[in-house]
Structure 1
């Protein structure tokens, strides 16, 4: 990928994010619209996009690639545990620190960025990272946040099995699993159904970027701050996690597109759900919100640098 392609892709991303920011600032969206658009993306458009793309680009052999992001996540968790102790992160934000350090905002930032930079052909490789990221976030990540409360009342609460299963099997992942069944058993999909799913799936990228703009506007750019824990999370997202994957993948003879996709995904902002998880657990919601806002904003500046570094992958 040459520098002009990288720049043009980033400009497109910034323009759509800016559109969401400006429209929300002008009051175009009613209260709760961001929740509606989030549901439309994650529960309808993204499963459709994944289903179509898997049948179009995925192969049975690509499932073996899951091992690499899995190893990267495990190593990153170890580093996150050690760093949180070194920074003496206080109770109520330890779990959020570790989960935010390791896990990425794969859907709302990673996916549109990947498609903008590499095209639809990269989506199967995105799914490789997305599967591991989803399992990591809603298993160990959610557990770490849930058990790290600032008060005993919340600490006593537990995540129910039903709730955990619903989080471990979100609609996008279900869409992937269904598509694997169709792929494995070579079940034909009617052309009209494929076209309809494609149209709906094409909503993902623009809506995701507009959603980010809305979130940034609501969080307020003036409220962001940089304390030692926030800086630690940012180092994890933008330096340590991608560096771990880079070093893991460097000696392995894999597709350059796979390597680039995994590294890009590992360097995206923190998941937008971490403030919600922190709130449910009685944790430090302000810290969780701040990490989402700061990492999302700074990611806009990280992308151009990341694109240039990917030329060496």
Structure 2
């Protein structure tokens, strides 16, 4: 419950700060930069070394990557169909594809399925969306934010110099290594700032009424993220004949709200910041309803 309260209060705080004009206009940029350069690398360095690969928990990993791939292709096709701009397409390829699999996923799955389902949430998050954020997210932000003609060399340079990706590479070399308690405490403190800081930035950019030209991509994104993605996950588990707790958890995870940090990356990269924040903010609110419907249908 405290997670839900924090989400709502952080968004509201940002929205009020904007209307009270307490912070400068470029505050969302500064907050998002803090998340990308400090908070997210700390989270990666803290969590990735803890991973343990096991064939028993591969179902959430398989479903997470398949859902992300299929929804990315679908989003790209729809963007071309509606002739969305490069900035809007880049935004949608971040906030529509990357799911809020931990911060929203843990309390929601716990509420509907109990604590025994939580290990599968962590696997879906850490081996699925978290790695996708540092790799796929880095590539999309680099490619769609650039105003110049890109070569593979330029894209590669942008990817390998992006702080979350650097942190991911370092963390892979640290797998199995236990940090000194002081280092763990410092990393944990920085990592814990991701959600409140990113959501205040969302609130600062949130508009209750979007411009007409942003309504269509807004609707497309949330339809794919909250409705199409869990349907895809459902058909995948039926196709493979999976009928386990991990499979049901994966459907829930696929239907979670857009990832908060994905919105921060999109905003920092200049990929339709107002639209990105609206999709994240409203997506979180709408997901309380859609995940309830999912629970009624599959449990």
Normalising by structure 1, report the TM-score.
0.69
Structure 1 portions without partners, runs of 5+: 148-153, 280-284
Report the alpha carbon displacement of residue 235 of structure 1 after superposing the two structures with TM: 2.0
Report the alpha carbon displacement of residue 108 of structure 1 after superposing the two structures with TM: 10
Q: How many residues align?
A: 281
SS in 2 for 1:188: coil
Q: Does 1:222 align with 2:217?
A: no
CA distance in 1, matches of 2:251, 2:30: 32
Contact persistence 1:103–1:137 (CA under 8 A)? yes
In structure 2, the partner of 1:190 is: 180
Which of residues 199, 203, 221 is equivalent to 1:233? 221
**1:161-180 matched pairs, under 5 angstroms:** 161-167=153-159, 170-180=162-172
Give the superposed CA RMSD. 3.9
CA distance in 1, matches of 2:34, 2:132: 23
The more displaced of 47-56 and 162-171 is: 162-171
Deviations 1:74-119 (A, max 9, x none): 322343355456xx423xx265565555432788966643466569
Structure 2 portions without partners, runs of 5+: 111-117
Change (3 A) 1:101 1:107: closer
**1:1-313 matched pairs, under 5 angstroms:** 5=1, 9-56=3-50, 58-61=51-54, 64=58, 66-84=61-79, 88-90=81-83, 93=84, 95=86, 99-104=90-95, 112-114=103-105, 117=108, 122-123=121-122, 125-127=124-126, 128-139=128-139, 143=143, 145=144, 157-158=149-150, 161-167=153-159, 170-183=162-175, 186-216=176-206, 220-225=207-212, 227-249=215-237, 251-252=241-242, 253=244, 255=246, 259=250, 262-265=253-256, 267=258, 271=263, 273-274=265-266, 288-289=272-273, 291-311=275-295, 312=298
Normalising by structure 2, report the TM-score.
0.72
Contact persistence 2:263–2:280 (CA under 8 A)? no
Contact persistence 2:68–2:97 (CA under 8 A)? no
SS in 2 for 1:48: helix
SS in 2 for 1:222: coil
SS in 1 for 2:179: coil
Report the alpha carbon displacement of residue 52 of structure 1 after superposing the two structures with TM: 2.2
Contact persistence 2:17–2:23 (CA under 8 A)? yes
Change (3 A) 1:19 1:51: same
CA distance in 1, matches of 2:8, 2:258: 17
Deviations 1:190-227 (A, max 9, x none): 122122222222222221221211121xxx43343365
Change (3 A) 1:177 1:160: closer
